[in-house]
Amino acid sequence: MQNNQNTSGAAKQNLTAYAVRESIFAGVIAFGLFFFFIGLETTQNIRNELVIVPHWVALAVTVLLVMAIRFAMITIIWPRMAAQRAAKAAAPHAMAEPGFFKKNFTAMVIVALFLYPVICIMTVGVQGSLKYIDNFGIQILIYVMLAWGLNIVVGLAGLLDLGYVAFYAVGAYSYALMSSYFGFSFWLLLPLAGILSAFWGIILGFPVLRLKGDYLAIVTLAFGEIIRLVLINWREVTNGAAGISGVAKASIFGIWSFDVSAPNNFAKSFGLPMSSVYYKVFLFYVILLLCLLTAFVTIRLRRMPVGRAWEALREDEIACRSLGINTTNTKLTAFAIGAMFGGFAGSFFAARQGFVSPESFVFLESAIILAIVVLGGMGSLVGIAVASIVMIGGTELLREMEFLKNIFGENFTPELYRMLIFGAAMVIVMVWKPRGFVGSREPTAFLFERKAVSGSFTKEGHG
């Protein structure tokens, strides 16, 4: 007994000494990485001279935070995770009946989303709710819809697409141009923008039928940049880099309008005080219904032969051909349907913003959407939605962290470091959950019994 205690004490001492060494090493690396990012700031004085402003406190806090996290991971987090895995492996395997929360999870989330604007208005008032409905509601749902659309191409069909933002741009400019020149309504242009984006998805799909992997990624990246450059240089139609302003707002099926000067203005019709929050609430429910439509279509397609063909193509294209599946049609349907949902989101974006420009459709947007799909777990709708909330909602939350100025100084702007934090979060999630938030999936085709396939049994990069 005494020997066991001595052995345990020696192991703890060795672990603590190892953790101290690793934390010091991590602190040195963090100091080298963040010295120029956080420690030094270059500005210009009144004489237009370059001035270097040091931020030693911010650098010291960052380094100490990295050291503390590394020490806690080695001494607390990793041993607990190892103990949990060992206990789970030793426990007898028993199929537990799903509880009430798990059975009704989807319905509860949908009800909560429909009540979200009402709760915001009741909690912080009409004008105070505008920020939460727009920035934390509509913004997140737009990326959820975009990520679910890209999930069809990347997560289900296994085709790496780095130019998905091009279809987003096609939908936005289709709505902006046709509403400005022809006066079409939102409800007519919404499906029309999706059809045009699907058409461009087929155009992209034809040249890349024989490509896969890195080559496919390069071609789709080039396609996205081509669309952006066309929008910049075709000034006669797109107004170039200046963009298109004064885009028509959406209306409630033409019955009520949200234009202030319109005789059928929504607020005037019901005797309500004039406010832009009514339009934002309307847009919230529109994008929520579009997201639900995207999820419904995706789930239904996965159960159909075309969905099973996408999964077969993702797993092994050669085996897919040997089964007699037409890989040409399979790829084209994936590109077209994914692009269609991107076009829906683009037309909604134009109606929401009232202004579109090429700056909104840069490669970074494609990278963010793809990162959401990968972090959430390719093929998982729930995981992608959670990743959208964490990544997009977390970025918006940085704007509210004014208390950080008390730590790092009055000139500190948290939102300027959003991409640094975004990258760090991606690294942490990929180390913690290499297969995304949802690392297992259930195939649509199964024999006798449906079983979840763990991510550890799948090929790297294939879900």
Question: Which element (helix H / strand E) includes 54?
Answer: strand 50-54
Radius of gyration of the chain (CA): 26
- The helix-helix angle for 327-353 and 139-151 (nearest 10°) equals 170
Looking at residue 54, what is its pLDDT? 85
C-alpha 250/C-alpha 187 separation (Å) is: 8
Predicted local distance difference test score (pLDDT) of residue 288? 94
Q: Point out the least confidently predicted range of 39-43, 115-119, 292-296.
A: 39-43
Categorize the per-residue pLDDT at 138 as very low, low, confident or very high, splitting at 50, 70 and 90: very high
pLDDT digits (tens, 9 = 90+) for 301-320: 988 888 888 888 888 888 88
Interior/surface letters 62-72, b for 16+ CB within 10 angstroms, e for the rest: bbeebbeebbe
* Helix intervals (H) in 165-276: 165-181, 186-205, 214-233, 235-238, 266-269
> In DSSP terms, which residues pair with 309 in a beta bridge?
none
Task: For 267-281, write each residue's pLDDT tens digit.
Answer: 777 777 777 888 888
For the CA atoms of 273, 276, 278, 284, the dihedral, rounded to the nearest 10 degrees, stands at -170
Q: Stretch 65-90: mean pLDDT, rounded?
A: 85
| b/e per residue 5-20 (b: at least 16 CB within 10 A) | eeeeeeeeeeeeeebe
**The dihedral of CA 399, 401, 402, 404: what is its sign?**
negative
> What is the rounded average pLDDT of the residues 124-129?
81
435 Cβ neighbours under 8 A, 6+ residues apart:
377, 455, 456, 458, 463
CA distance 446 to 178: 46
pTM of full prediction above 0.75: yes
> Is 459 a residue whose pLDDT tops 70?
no
Tell which wins on pLDDT, 101 or 444.
101
| Distances in whole angstroms, Cα of residue 249 to Cα of each of 100, 111, 117, 279 | 42, 27, 20, 9
Tell me the three state secondary structure of residue 40: strand
Least confident of 61-75, 201-215, 378-392, 434-448: 434-448
Lowest mean pLDDT among 258-272, 318-332, 359-373: 258-272
Residue 175: pLDDT above 90? yes
| Least confident stretch, 31-35, 45-49, 74-78, 355-359 | 45-49
Q: Which residues contact 350 (CB under 8 A, 6 or more apart)?
A: 171, 172, 173, 175, 176, 179, 247, 356
How far does CA 254 lie from the centroid of its chain? 32
